[in-house]
Amino acid sequence: MKRVIERGPAPEPIGISVPRRDGIEKVTGAASFTTDLTLPGLAHARLLRSPYAHARIRSIDAEAARRHPGVIAVVTAADLPGVQLEYGHAVADHPLIATGKVRFAGEVVVGVVAEDAATADEALRLIEVDYDPLPYATTVEEALAPGAPVLHEKAGRQGAHRGFEEDITRDHPNVCSTFRQAWGEIEDAFTGAHLVLEGTWHYPMCYAFAMEPYTSVAEWKDGELTVWSSAQHPYMVRDDLAHVFHLPLSAVRVIVPYVGGGYGSKSYTKIEPLTAALALKAGRPVRLALNVDDAILTTRGDGATVQLRSAFDRDGRLLGRQATVRLDSGAYAENSPLVGRKAANRLGGPYRIPALEVTCQVVYTNTAPASSFRGFGAPQVVFAAESQMDEAAEALGLDPLEIRRRNLVERGERPWPKVRGLDAKLADDLALAAAELDWSTPPAPGVGRAVCVSASDAGSEPVTTATLRVHPDGSVTVLCGSTEIGQGSATALAQIAAGEMGVPLEKVRLVQSDTAAVTYDRSTGASRTTTLMGLAIRNAARDVKAQLLEWARESWAGEDAPEPVLEHAGIRVGDRLAGWGEVVRAWFAGDYGEAIGRGYLRKAGETAEMPPFWEVGCVGVEVRVDESTGEIHVEKLVTIGDVGCAVNPQLAEAQDVGAAIMGLGMAMREELIYEDGNLVNGNLYDYRVPRFTDLPELRTVLVERGDGVGVYGAKGGGEGALNPVASAIANAVRRATGARLREAPFTPERVWEALRERDAANGR
């Protein structure tokens, strides 16, 4: 790893690669995940899923299952009067269990709770469901065709509406929402253009494959609900559970142990309402642990078709961009309306585009519901946008680096009206990536190189709190609602607390993700935790220090007493530095008590402007193509991790590398395939994720220019390096072979077809 450091100093241990704090637990098997949890009286649930893509449920006969020895409860929608069955982040259209109709093959129809999972499995086989199959639409084209089957007869109620500024509108019965982004005079841009390029790109629906499948445990006691879950956003799950069961927020406790991978797929509410409903009916604590095949049917990434048209002047400057994006969002809205909004936004940056018009439709299809997935609309649209930039360079005889340089927005410049100015020097990042690929040296014949960039409006909503407790011995406990999903928040946030308080890292304990014990955080996603929770912790540290200064004045007042002065690691009283613990002891007049610091963050002050920060992506690749098989060999993969301030450089690098390899998987192999209404590769045999032997030569440059909104200029990482990977590979293949790839993943078959198209175009 190389580092470029152009930022001010930060107090240790901020900026140091301290070992992960979850390390020993995770290498000894002691780390506890939701799947490892057990409780007295714990019962086990299994689910019966629909074999039909679209069908009315005529009747369910579960009598034999109910009578099966060891069965505690059999639950259908009819068994849950008084429960608000439909929930949803954007649109409350998703029943926690099918209500009269199924909308995708795999939808949950019946839940069985038994003494053990094997008994529940036996009972499932005794249930008879009479379905009336309906015509279905498993592609966007089918869903938008005249006379298409309608998935949702009535428009879904606006859902929790957290972070949605626009109304969810439906301009077609199968369009869940439409988002439009526009500025400038688009007609003029195209009329006056020297070059107009137009194309259509396809990005597949993908599966995040968090290795821990969705798991939750629910327990009711005296009308209060506790749920343990593999969820990224415990507070959002709490809010949905309170809504579903008509409970005050304080009556719902969501606890998140270690999470076995998220990547966005564990954002928002998944199986928790169902688990809680099963526990309610069973009168016992219930564990619902999905397997991978079930998890694929729970959430996936949005597939996309991007029609993109761009206008350039003779020097390669962008004049306008016009796009229609259609997302295949599956049977329920989940978070796809927000993915749609972000997909539209992310066609806007990182270039200066005088006129833009993007329409993004989020389309219901009879497939597993799509929601958040790492990159969140960006990988889909960046594939098209960055491919077209290379096409423009080629048409105008410009170096692909040069056309990008001419169009990139400068640091501080707003990519579009009313947003925060870009907080990165992307042209410099691009130069770093090019240098790592020896850009100025021509590649060998048959080898192609490319560099691509992206900018995502990241960070989600800056609504976050933290609590920082200072104990009489000077040690510190931090309470925060951010989840450790593997990204290293347990380490980086503790580093920030230690750095801000000036106490050794080993004196800081971080408590995370228990809605009854820690204070509110909106979410763990959109690369926001180090930046936004980091600021909340800094604010809590400032708050507690201000209190401690006041306490020092009160405790040590006197006529000749020197005025206490706040310093980084304590309070100076005359020629003596009193540690935080000493101030606590003095104020309570004994070796007890504690000081409580409050850290608030909201859309105000430094985080008033949206987005809170830009997450930039900058990658380079070098590829070789076997023209006889269509196999692409990605030989080098360069990522530039422009993170402002790397609180823990080793972990920041790890985020970049992990994201890039996930991007490689989606570009090269990953694709969920539907045939005849069913997912035909919904398992890990057929859905191919990257393996050790797919690993290219990797190079990461960590760039720290202190230009983010976070502590010491930090800003988010972890998605950026994924977003441009598909476009970079496609562009490199074009330069290696002359073939243009417009549909990911780039399977050998698709590459081979693109090579034949090239030959046909060349008259061969």
Catalog residues that contact another protein under the rule CB under 8 A: 19-20, 22-33, 35-36, 118, 208-213, 258-263, 291-293, 485-488, 650-651, 654, 657-662, 683-685, 689-693, 695, 698
Which has the closest alpha carbon to 256: 225, 215, 219?
215
Minimum gap (Å) between residue 209 Cβ and another protein? 5
Minimum CB distance to another protein, residue 403 (Å): 29
Task: Give 228 or 614: the residue with its C-beta nearer to another protein.
Answer: 228
Q: In 3-state terms, what secondary structure has residue 132?
A: strand
- Report in angstroms how near the CB of residue 753 gets to another protein at its nearest: 28
CA distance 77 to 500: 51
- Closest to another protein by CB, 423 vs 615, is 615
Q: Closest separation between CB of residue 25 and another protein, Å?
A: 8
Q: How far, in Å, CA of 720 to CA of 376, rounded?
A: 11
In the complex, minimum distance from the CB of residue 371 to another protein, in angstroms, rounded to a whole number: 17
Amino acid at 300: R
**Which pair of structure tokens corresponds to residue 748?**
């050998």
Tell me if the bond preceding 135 is cis, omega within 30° of 0.
no
Task: Give the shortest CB-24-to-another protein separation in angstroms.
Answer: 7
Count of other CB atoms within 10 angstroms of residue 28 = 8
Instruction: State which H helix or E strand residue 27 sits in.
Output: helix 23-28
> Closest Cα partner for 477 from 499, 500, 507, 504?
507
Angle subtended by helix axes 234-244 and 272-282, to nearest 10:
50
Nearest residue (CB) to another protein, 230 versus 269: 230
By beta-carbon proximity to another protein, the closer residue of 52 and 687 is 687
Q: For residue 289, which phi and psi values (nearest 5 degrees)?
A: -120, 115
Sign of the four-CA dihedral 730, 736, 740, 743: negative
Radius of gyration of the chain (CA): 27
Between residues 280 and 660, which has the closer beta carbon with respect to another protein? Answer: 660
C-alpha triplet 193, 198, 199: angle, nearest 5°? 165
| Shortest reach from residue 382's CB to another protein, in Å | 19
Residue 146: Cβ within 10 Å count? 4
Rounded to a whole number of angstroms, the minimum distance from the CB of residue 668 to another protein is 13
> 36 or 187, CB closer to another protein?
36
The sign of the CA dihedral 377, 379, 384, 386 is positive
Q: How far is the CB of 670 from another protein (least distance, A)?
A: 11
Q: Residue 202: in which H helix or E strand, if any?
A: strand 195-203
Distance (Å, whole) CA 95 – CA 600: 34
At 339, list the tokens: 């993915």
CA distance 653 to 662: 14
Residue 262's contacts (CB-CB under 8 Å, 6 or more residues apart) are 208, 210, 232, 483, 485, 486, 524, 525
Choice between 213 and 301, CB closer to another protein: 213
Closer residue to another protein in complex, CB, 140/206: 206
Residue 638: CB minimum distance to another protein, A: 13
Helix/strand number for the chain, H first, E second = 18, 35
C-alpha 301/C-alpha 372 separation (Å) is: 6
Distances (CA, A) of 602 to 9, 354, 535: 26, 31, 10
3-state secondary structure of 739: coil
Name the maximum alpha-carbon separation found in the chain. Answer: 98
The least distance separating another protein from the CB of residue 16, rounded to whole angstroms, comes to: 13
Beta bridge partners, 131, equal: 57
Describe the strand order of the beta sheet including 595-601 as a list of residue ranges. 508-512, 476-480, 464-470, 595-601
The dihedrals phi and psi of 670, each to the nearest 5 degrees, come to -85, 130
Q: How many residues does the chain have?
A: 764
Tokens at residue 85, please?
């069955």
Which letter, b or e, does each residue of 533-565 get, where b requires 16 or more Cβ atoms within 10 Å of its Cβ? bbbbbbbbbbbbbebbbebbeebbeeeeeeebe
Alpha carbon of residue 249 to chain centroid: 25
The helix (run of H) or strand (run of E) holding residue 216 is strand 215-221
Least separation, in Å, of the C-beta of 695 and another protein? 5
**Between 260 and 630, CB nearer to another protein:** 260
Minimum distance, C-beta of residue 696 to another protein, in the bound complex (Å): 10
Cβ proximity to another protein, 247 vs 698, nearer residue: 698
What minimum distance in Å lies between the beta carbon of 684 and another protein?
4
Q: How far is the CB of 422 from another protein (least distance, A)?
A: 27
Secondary structure class of 578 (helix, strand, coil):
strand
- For the bound state, the minimum distance from the C-beta of residue 1 to another protein, rounded and expressed in Å, comes to 10
CB nearer to another protein: pick between 41 and 192: 41
| Residue of 99, 107, 207, 56 lying closest to 678 (CA atoms) | 107
Q: How far is it, in rounded angstroms, from Cα 731 to Cα 677?
A: 34
